[in-house]
Each structure stands twice: as C-alpha cells, then as structure tokens.
Structure 1
Amino acid sequence: MLKNADLDTSVSGSFMNLPSMRAPGAGLARACIVGIPFDCGTHPFRVGSREGPAAIRQQSRLVRHFHIGATGAAANPTEFLGAIDVGDVPCRPGDIEYSYPRIEHTISAILASGAIPISMGGDGAVTLPQLRAVSKQHPGVVVLHIDAHTDTYEMEGFNTATTFTRAAEEKLIDVENSFHIGARGGTFVGGVLEFGRSVGYHVIPFDEFDQDPDACMRHVFQTIGDKPVYLCFDMDVFDPSCAPGVCTPEWGGLSAKEGLKLLKSLHGLNFVAFDVNTVSPPQDVGGATAFLAATVIWECCSLAAASIQRSA
C-alpha cells in the first residue's frame, strides 16, 4: 500500500492543483502523479533535474483541465482519471543505492492500488527502477522511448546513458518490440545506434522520424499492437529553442507543436505507465521547459484516460 510515510508530501503546491488523495466515497484514483527529484549529479556543469518536479508543479498552474474539441475521457482527463498528486519519492540525488529501491517501491505501490503512475523526473536514470516495478505488474511490457539520446550505451554501471542497457540485461521489458525514437546530435562514444539495435531495440533516429512521422507511427502501432506500453518521454527531444532547461540539449529537435502532435498520435496504444524526465530548472528560461513538460504530462493523462476507456 502507498502510505504518506513513503513519500515527501510536504511539496509546495500540487500538479494542476490536484488533490493528494481521493475524497471519501469518490472511488479510487485511476492515475497518480508522482515526483522523482533525483539526478546522478555527474555532469561537469549542468546539474539540476532533481529540481524538476517542483518546477513542473509550479508551471502546471497554467494548464487547464479541459481539452478544446475533445470528447469522452479525453475532454477532461484528470477528472476521468480521478487523478491525484501523491508527492515526491524521498530520494537522495547521486545516491542510487538509497534512491532506486524507494522509487521502485513507490511505483509498485501505485500500480498495486490499480492506478497508472505518471512520473516527473528527475534525470533519465529514474527510469530503470520504475521499469523494475512495472515489469512485475505487467510482464512483457514494451518501452516507447522518445528522446534525443538512446540511453542504451555499451558501458558499465548505472547512469543516464545505461538505463535501457541495464533494463535489457535485467529482462525487464520486451526489448524486441520496444522503440528508441528521436536520437540526434553528438554523443561521447561512437556506435550508439548500432549498439542499441544489437541489444534488440527498434532504433529510429530523429532524421528518419522527421522524414515521415506518419510512417514511423504506423510501424510503432503495427509492432506494439495491444501490448502494455511504458512511455518514457525525455524533454530533450524538443529543440532547445522551446525547451532550453534540459540535462543534455541537442539542436535540431521537435518544436512544441510537433512534440504535442506526436503525443496525440499515440492514442490507441495500451499505456500502463508514463515517465516524463530531464527538466533542469537552473538552465530553464522563464519556466518555459517546465511549462511544456506540464503540458506533456497533461497529454499523458489524456493517453491514460483513452487507454482505460478503450479497455473498459
């Protein structure tokens, strides 16, 4: 069970002013927003995504609950979901041994309650413990990873570059039906696309996606089908012109319009968990990245609502 003692509920404000628990008689929450204020702290000068959840919550006050023109569950997804903001996982930035078990425990408790976890990081390292929890509840889960980096590098250890290398080694996911979409720019080691494919992932670099996004989405839908899906959305898939406050920016990415359109195109997949990460407030400008991330999370609520309505 998810208990207040397992979380930091002293966070200032909530995501979109959502309650921290359901009112008596209101039924169980179908989705829980949870913050994961963790980063590895290893970048030589660009550290700060541990502050991401607080910044996203603050900027989420600009996000309204109703989708213009939408109907059914997607019209007001947070209401349909009975969504709540359960606070933050009590992490220690840079301390993986302390933080990973607590992240896994919290996500496991949310899933055990029957709710879909929608997390806000934190850097890309927060994904692995979440996958450990999700894989137990949803065996054979596939990953749809949208990111300017594959995070599947041929390296030892636990960090943002090895998240999906370790996930494959630990057999947490259905690798052969999982996707990395959006890799672009430079890397600190060579051959990352080839290595990701050798592990078993479908790797679609940004240039290939950009040539024909519709064909890419058809490939995703045909491959994944009705399998349970974990959406990992890294905010650096956006261009730094609209999302400057991320851990590792790369020029030439999605505009805000393109990124939100991409999310809308995912309606119809069977989503069981969401993970939006790498907002780094110290590098942000006017809260733009945090506001965009809050909007991405709202779109994730819409995807969650559509998945539940579809399976009802």
Structure 2
Amino acid sequence: MTALFTPPETFAGLPHGRPGAGCRAAVLGVPFDCGTHPFRVGARQGPEHVRRQSKLMRRFHVSLGDFDPLARLGAVDCGDVALVPGRVAPSFPAIEAAAGTILDAGAVPVAIGGDGSVSLPLMRAAARRHPGLVALHVDSHTDAYEYGEEDAYNAATQFSHAAAEGLVDTAHSWHVGIRGFTYCPGVLARAQGLGFRVVTTEDLFRRGFAQTVAEFRDDAAQRPVYLCWDMDVFDPSVAPGVCTPTWGGLSAREGIDLLRELSGLNIVAIDFNTVSPPQDVNDMAAHLCAHMVMEAMLLLCRQFGLAGEG
C-alpha cells in the first residue's frame, strides 16, 4: 500500500524514535537560542538545517573502515526537544530530561543545537549519571564569562555555571581553540580561575593536535568526558553561519583531524552547537556540522570497539 504520510526528517535518514536495546547513540535536536545576540539570532533553527544538509552525507567512509557507523551504533534520531526558544526556565529542564532519557537507555546523546547555552542542561543530565565528568570544550570562546542576576544564563556563561554547580571537574576540563578579540579583559584569567585549562588556537598549532589531545587524554585518565564542539571554532571562511564568527579559526580539514585525534576517550555525551542558518551562506556551516556529526559517530564506533571489519 502506498504510504499516505512522509516520516519526519531525520539525520541522514536515521529511524525516528527513542533509543532501545542495542542503541549506542541517539541524535537529539535542541532548537534553542537565548535570543540575546545583538544581531545574530537564529541558532534555534540549527537542528532543522543540519538534518536537511545531512541528506548529502554518505554512510561509508572510503579510508576509515568502509562500514556504516550509524548502523553499527544502532543509532536513532529522537527528534527535537519540545521547548520554547528564548525561555530558559521551562526549556532547560526539558533539555535535561530529554538527554537523560537517552543516557538512561545506555546511549550517547549526540545533540545538535541551538546556541552554546544548551550545553548547560545537557551537562546537567550527563553529570547526574556520570560522576567525575570532565569537559572538553572546543570553541573560539571560553563561555566562562562572569554574569549577573538579570542575565545569568546565556551563550557565554554555560561553563561558569558548570563550574559553580560542580557538574564537571574543572581541574581536568579543557577549553581548546580559544582565540580572537573579546568584549572585556581577563577572559582567560577568569576561566583559569575557575580551574579550567585553556589552550588557545596559537597554543594548539604550536603544540600540534596529537600532542594536545594526548595531554588531555592523560589528564582525563578515562574519566567520563562531555565533548562540546562549537562550530565557531572553524574559520568563518568554511563555517560562515555561526552565532559569533571569529577569524583565524580551523579549516575544515584541521577540524576533522582534531576530532579524529580524540580516540581513546570515554565520551558519554556530545553536542555540536551554534549553527545559525539565517547567516549561513550556502548552508556551509550546517553541511560541515552534519559531516562532524558523522565523524563523531565514527569516533564512537572506535570507542565501543565497533570499527572492526565485518
């Protein structure tokens, strides 16, 4: 019988639904932004556009095992969290609950934001289930800024809250890729004062990707890792549609290589954030984000011992 209705659009055609037996990873859309950026509001549309660009993704990588990582992980797409963009009070608990459902099923949530603020409720969910959680935050900004009562939650304070709430062990958590100009002085000192290790883009290229990640791997020492990947770590020439573009970032090739270096970590939750479709020329950032999600799926296959032949 001919189908009367089309299924919802999912990442790379994944089955839509909650994770069940045998599911090791689940895509979760988080269509939220605080709506406070001076002129780049729109990351709430990120999950929809990344899923749309994922139609261009092929499932078999010619040089990294020639297998379908989504199938090996038994991955599903849970759809989007039901929330109200811009309203923190009702949305953050909903995001945390949705991620918690995935974690409780034994799967790794692979979230697609949304602006960077969504990392906080996602970290809350991971921290409640994984004591000793550490963060690897790949970004051009620390997102560990000071905040006041009237504007406590935004896309520049999530790691300040993570430290204050004890969600992550800051002594073993790193910010990697920090660069560029800031609105105020003392940004690096502020993050370091909270206990975080900060690796600037200059440090990253001077030390090399392999050496930097090897040191983080030793520091993490098999603790559960929350991987937060802000798409503005890429240079605007390859990812123009992000909330806060900053020149001098990673090329697409460099970002892919950096993610591949993360083998050997105990990654328990991932988010890719800050794709802002209204500013995304030719959907470049969304397409690159879709590719990075696929790279993350390959990374999880290696982590779970699913990357062998056969």
User: Do 1:271 and 1:303's aligned partners in 2 also have CA atoms closer than 8 Å?
Assistant: no
1:111: how far off? 0.5
| Number of the residue aligned with 1:240 | 236
Q: How many residues align?
A: 297
The alpha-carbon distance between structure 1 residues 263 and 239, as it changes in their structure 2 partners (threshold 3 A), is same
In structure 1, how many angstroms separate the alpha carbons of the residues matched to 2:166 and 2:17? 34
Q: Which stretch has the larger CA shift, 208-217 or 246-255?
A: 208-217
CA contact (8 A) 1:239 1:255 kept: yes
Distance in 1, matches of 2:51 and 2:284, equals 13
Alignment of 1:20-99 (within 5 A): 20-21=16-17, 27-71=21-65, 75-99=67-91
For the Cα contact (< 8 Å) 1:232–1:275, is it kept in 2?
yes
Q: CA deviation at 1:76?
A: 2.1
Look up the match of 1:225: 221
One-letter amino acid matched to 1:118? V
Q: 1:70-113 deviations in whole A, cap 9, x for unaligned?
A: 23xx8321111100001000121110001000000000111011
Question: How far apart are 1:12 and its partner, in Å?
Answer: 4.3
Q: What is the rounded CA distance, in whole Å, between the counterparts of 2:169 and 2:302 in structure 1?
A: 23
List 4+ stretches of structure 1 deviating above 3 A.
none
In structure 1, the partner of 2:3 is none
Task: Note closer, same or farther for the CA distance 1:254–1:247 as it changes in structure 2 (3 Å cut).
Answer: same
1:258 is displaced (CA, Å) by: 0.3
Identity of aligned residues (%): 47
Task: Note closer, same or farther for the CA distance 1:182–1:11 as it changes in structure 2 (3 Å cut).
Answer: farther
**Residue 288 of structure 1: aligned partner:** 284
What is the aligned counterpart of 1:266 among 262, 274, 278?
Answer: 262
* Change in 2 beyond 3 A, CA 1:11/1:290: farther
After TM superposition, the structure 1 stretch with the greater mean CA deviation from structure 2, 209-218 or 146-155, is 209-218
* Structure 1, unpaired ranges of 5+: 1-9
Q: Is the 8 A contact 1:110 1:117 kept in 2?
A: yes
Structure 2 unmatched runs, 5+: 1-5
| Distance (whole Å) between structure 2 residues aligned to residue 62 and residue 87 of structure 1 | 19
Instruction: Specify the code of the residue in structure 1 equivalent to 2:144.
Output: T
Taking the TM superposition and a 5 Å limit, the aligned residue runs for 1:129-148 are 129-148=121-140
* One of 278, 294, 301 as aligned partner of 2:297: 301
Deviations 1:42-88 (A, max 9, x none): 012110000000000000011111122223xx832111110000100
TM-score (norm 2): 0.92
1:172-211 equivalence runs, <5 A: 172-211=167-206
Give the Cα separation in 1 of the matches to 2:67 and 2:254: 21
Over 3 Å counting, the alpha-carbon distance change for 1:194 and 1:176 in structure 2 is same
CA contact (8 A) 2:230 2:274 kept: yes
Q: In the alignment, which residue of structure 2 is the partner of 1:165?
A: 160
- C-alpha separation in 2, matches of 1:129 and 1:192: 23
